[in-house]
Structure 1
Amino acid sequence: MVGEQGTGGNQAPYAAGLRTPAREYDGVALPVEGTLPPWLSGTLLRNGPACFEVGDRSFRHWFDGQAMIHRFHVAAAGDASGDADGDATGVTYTNRYLATPARTAALANGRITYGEFATDPCRSIFQRLFTLFTPPPPSGNTNVNIVQFGERTLALTETPLPVEFDPGTLETVGVQDYEDHLGAPVTTAHPHLEPGRGHLVNYSVRFARTCRYLIHRQRAESSALREVVAEKQVTHPSYMHSFAITPSYAVLVEFPYRVNPLALLLSGRPFIENYRWQPDDPTRITLLSLTDGTVAGEYEAPAMFAFHHINAYEEDGADGTVVLDLCAYPDPEIVQALYLDRLRSGGPVPQALPTRLRVDRRTGRVTVTRLSDEPLELPRIDYRRHNGHPYRYTYGVGSRDHGGGDFFDQLVKLDVSSGETLTWHEPGGYPGEPVFVAAPKDTGGDAGEDSGVILSVVLDSAAQSSYLLVLDAVSFTELARARVPQPVPFGFHGVFSRG
């Protein structure tokens, strides 16, 4: 069975990042080594899976663990060696599980009740037949991303009901429902702020005899209503964890990792195990107009797979070239590599390479080039200033072993214009997604695109604990770290807010 191999007794050195944490903390002051920039005051929120078992049964995949939010509040003023309490200098840490439908049911029933990405609840034959006619509600296990939109802070996953929480206390406010009825049960945890407008744009899939991709927009003043902007018919939808956006287009990159919608109803397999890799098919790129909803162009590239887009932008206006940068794999073997038994036992982890797709709208040609030979995943940019526009720098996690013999053990800064890279690595350290925080204009420093800091949560495998790492984004050298009294489970995405 997929994901059941590699269950030997050996544990990878980073396995502590894939275990349920011992406890929740509430505003504990962290010891800080080094000096935080005096302008760095605000809150880093991180989202990710944390509880990996319910009763005597474990979840099968890293993506399936129950959602936990981690809060690092930073109050910097010169030397950051002091404690943090309220507005005092230093760093405090809070972690709390989201009270999602999946977690609430698990605590009440003592078993896995909802289906997840690669874990299916144990159901009787009668229950399986019943779900053919009455599909179960989504689990609400929003363990992937965090978006601050309007007055709300939302945790997101690939089902369409975000969970709102209080960014100060991390208390769950509740599931956000919608006033519309799109009938689309799969979406992405990576909506975009529409360049130049600030509306939230996302894509969803409606499954039927003829399926549809839907591009929809949420306005801050009516955030419970999704307006369909564009749509496209498709027979066998692709698995797309994210998409790209430019001022003119929503861009869908359909990898040949596809599903027959009937399989989702009839197979009895977990969600992702219904998708099939079709290496002889092309990757299809579709430009959907954000203005009039038309399909503005369809193009083909060689077969590949990716979880994350880095950025996209237009050259020479909407009718010229569209540039798409993503973290590309040759195939979706990475999905199998992230099953917990394989990952905890140190199985090989395929590496993504930063890759550029140039779509020439005049000729219809797609040119594929590698931006660097340095692996890069969980990419971040200066999103506020460069989302949907030309940019120079991206930051991500990578592996010093380009053959995939280790997990993410270094941070990478890539200059996409030159291909030059800088890396940060510490023996036994396993960093998470790097979040770029731009320095204020009045700090007197370099005003370049990379003027600021990088924040990452790093597992120290030797000490069996984690720490918040602060790097200077220009030189990629360490400024400070603040140690957490236990390992922080590996997460996915987060957000930094000032104040």
Structure 2
Amino acid sequence: MQYDYSKNKDEHPEPIKADLKGLIPEWLQGTLIRNGPGLFSLGETRYNHWFDGMALLHSFTIKKGIYFIVIQAFMYAYHICRDAITLPTGDWFFYLDCILFAILCFALPPIDSNLSVLVYLKSLITCGSDGSPPLKSAEVVCTVPCRSLLTPSYYHSFGMTDNYFVFIEQPLKLDVLKMATAYLRGVSWASCMKFHPEDSTLIHLIDRKTKKEVGIKFYTGAMAVYHQVNAFEDDGHVVFDGICYDDNSLYEMFYLDKLKEQMGADTVYCKPKCKRFVLPLSDMGETGEDLVKLKYTTASAVKEKEGKVLCQGEVLCDGVELPRINYNFNGKKYRYSYMCCVDISPVATKIVKFDVETKQKIEWTGGDCFASEPVFIPRPDAVDEDDGVVLTCIINAKPVQGGFLLVLDGKSFKEVARACIDVDFHMDMHGYFIPGSS
């Protein structure tokens, strides 16, 4: 499939009614906001990497079973002082504030209902229970020294359970000295980042109550981790699942020149694996003993000398990225995840539902299409973990056909509906659903 990844996308500040095919559940009310690069040239400036493209937001609003789309470019280079569009309030439209857009596209829901972080507000978001600005009352929970001050590890995400944080200190490192002189040398910061396959990966487990790292030194082989699926505690263990790479070749694949090449079954790049690691909370045992006592996983944690524990992950499935779950199960033992399938290309052409217990995958594919990160929306008062719908934006590789918002049943993973739009909207990276009143 051929697709021009470097093409600048246009703003569409007016709402566009989508052509709805299928039946939308009546309980599904709200707005799906998605974010991704949409501008790759500005004047004389050209961007060489897809990740460097200026951000463009678009949203689908679901109200009384009717779909509308608002594509709002949030390109800071020449829209920094421009007000975002104001839509008339009423039955079919709602007001979107540009500042709210900016914050919500990065905000995450609370891990449970006990936290004082609220994201579904009609005003600006506050993180403190006293209503103070988010960063004003922020505190450092724990400091973990890196192995080398001149080559710190790259961090993209971390795991969190009720009682622990999980940080991955991977051998994908930033060279501080090279970064300090990058501008003078006329090179990008990307050239200052290097993967070191000869190094191990350290797994830091931090107690949220004591705000200190536990005494056990967990480590595994060299890997790069950008996205974690989930983490939870079970019978004296911390279990965390993440998307792991054997190197950092994924970053190289997203240079625009690389993306212009025809990609398919012969594409050579390090395919990601969804791995499960288990960290025992006690190191009581003999040297050489596997400390993992959970029966449902083949992941191991072998005790070594000097308080070290060598962890080997269980490969749950491969060729997947951009994982999402039912967020009601975040930080808890879960069963289902929804991911993009990248088995033959770093750009997803399929959406996958994965059952971590049975190891079964259900796929949706639309032919000459590119799929974005799936977002699971639970049905109100649902009992089953997968009772809900999955939303994802689909880009059609054929220029004569527009894209659409796809709605899949969370259980069967069959198509429920699609909202087609006659707009050339961009391929995005992440999405967030804001529930609305029904």
TM band (smaller chain): 0.7 to 0.9
For residue 396 of structure 2, the aligned residue among 460, 473, 480 is: 460
Secondary structure in structure 1 of the residue aligned to 2:240: strand
Which aligned pairs between 1:194-209 and structure 2 lie closer than 5 A? 194-195=111-112, 197-199=114-116
Which residue does 2:290 correspond to in 1?
A: none
1:161-181 per-position Cα deviation (integer Å, ceiling 9, x unaligned): xxxxxx8335346988xxxxx
1:403-427 per-position Cα deviation (integer Å, ceiling 9, x unaligned): x347310000001122111000011
Which residue does 1:273 correspond to in 2?
A: 191
For residue 160 of structure 2, the aligned residue among 221, 245, 260 is: 245
Moved more, 346-355 or 465-474: 346-355
1:325-368 per-position Cα deviation (integer Å, ceiling 9, x unaligned): 01111111001111111112235354322111112232334231
Moved more, 345-354 or 462-471: 345-354
Per-residue deviation, 1:192: 6.9
For residue 361 of structure 2, the aligned residue among 415, 421, 441 is: 421
For residue 315 of structure 1, the aligned residue among 234, 257, 261 is: 234
Contact 1:230-1:289 within 8 A present in 2 as well: no
Partner Cα separation in structure 1 for residue 99 and residue 7 of structure 2: 23
Provide closer, same or farther for how the CA distance between residues 168 and 190 of structure 1 changes in structure 2, counting only shifts above 3 A.
Answer: closer
For residue 311 of structure 2, the aligned residue among 342, 351, 366 is: 366
How many residue pairs were aligned? 378
Per-residue deviation, 1:305: 1.0
In the alignment, residue 153 of structure 2 is paired with which amino acid? Answer: S
In the alignment, residue 449 of structure 1 is paired with which amino acid? Answer: E
Provide closer, same or farther for how the CA distance between residues 42 and 200 of structure 1 changes in structure 2, counting only shifts above 3 A.
Answer: closer
Secondary structure in structure 2 of the residue aligned to 1:343: helix
Which residue does 2:375 correspond to in 1?
A: 435
1:369-402 per-position Cα deviation (integer Å, ceiling 9, x unaligned): 10024x211110011x111111000001113xx3
Which residue does 1:228 correspond to in 2?
A: 140
Contact 1:359-1:365 within 8 A present in 2 as well: no
For residue 95 of structure 2, the aligned residue among 146, 168, 188 is: 168
Partner Cα separation in structure 2 for residue 285 and residue 362 of structure 1: 15
Contact 2:160-2:231 within 8 A present in 1 as well: yes
* Alignment root-mean-square deviation, CA: 2.7
In the alignment, residue 213 of structure 2 is paired with which amino acid? Answer: V
For residue 470 of structure 1, the aligned residue among 407, 413, 419 is: 407
Partner Cα separation in structure 2 for residue 387 and residue 405 of structure 1: 29
Provide closer, same or farther for how the CA distance between residues 18 and 457 of structure 1 changes in structure 2, counting only shifts above 3 A.
Answer: farther
Secondary structure in structure 2 of the residue aligned to 1:240: coil
2:67 is the alignment partner of 1:67: no
1:263-284 per-position Cα deviation (integer Å, ceiling 9, x unaligned): 2212333223211111011111
Which residue does 1:97 correspond to in 2?
A: 73
1:97-129 per-position Cα deviation (integer Å, ceiling 9, x unaligned): 2253x4457x99xxxxxxxxxxxxxxxxxxxxx
Partner Cα separation in structure 2 for residue 361 and residue 428 of structure 1: 47
Partner Cα separation in structure 1 for residue 36 and residue 335 of structure 2: 28
Structure 1: state its 5+ residue gaps.
1-11, 77-88, 109-166, 177-187, 202-216
Provide closer, same or farther for how the CA distance between residues 60 and 170 of structure 1 changes in structure 2, counting only shifts above 3 A.
Answer: farther
Per-residue deviation, 1:447: 2.9
Partner Cα separation in structure 1 for residue 209 and residue 113 of structure 2: 13
Partner Cα separation in structure 2 for residue 456 and residue 218 of structure 1: 28
Contact 1:192-1:245 within 8 A present in 2 as well: no
2:2 is the alignment partner of 1:13: yes
Which residue does 2:46 correspond to in 1?
A: 58
Contact 2:11-2:72 within 8 A present in 1 as well: no
Identity %: 28
Partner Cα separation in structure 2 for residue 355 and residue 288 of structure 1: 20
Per-residue deviation, 1:309: 0.4
Contact 2:386-2:410 within 8 A present in 1 as well: yes
Partner Cα separation in structure 1 for residue 102 and residue 340 of structure 2: 31
2:14 is the alignment partner of 1:26: yes
Partner Cα separation in structure 2 for residue 405 and residue 494 of structure 1: 21
Partner Cα separation in structure 2 for residue 469 and residue 41 of structure 1: 15
Structure 2: state its 5+ residue gaps.
83-93, 119-125, 284-308
Which residue does 1:485 correspond to in 2?
A: 422
Contact 1:251-1:285 within 8 A present in 2 as well: yes
Name the TM-score, length of structure 2 as normaliser: 0.80
Contact 2:154-2:170 within 8 A present in 1 as well: yes
Secondary structure in structure 2 of the residue aligned to 1:263: helix
Contact 2:182-2:189 within 8 A present in 1 as well: no
For residue 408 of structure 1, the aligned residue among 317, 326, 348 is: 348
Partner Cα separation in structure 2 for residue 340 and residue 279 of structure 1: 26
1:222-271 per-position Cα deviation (integer Å, ceiling 9, x unaligned): 22322111111222211121111111122111110112322221233322
Per-residue deviation, 1:219: 2.6
Partner Cα separation in structure 2 for residue 200 and residue 260 of structure 1: 35
Provide closer, same or farther for how the CA distance between residues 73 and 18 of structure 1 changes in structure 2, counting only shifts above 3 A.
Answer: farther
In the alignment, residue 354 of structure 2 is paired with which amino acid? Answer: L
Per-residue deviation, 1:449: 0.3
Contact 2:224-2:248 within 8 A present in 1 as well: yes
Partner Cα separation in structure 2 for residue 412 and residue 382 of structure 1: 14
Contact 1:307-1:327 within 8 A present in 2 as well: yes
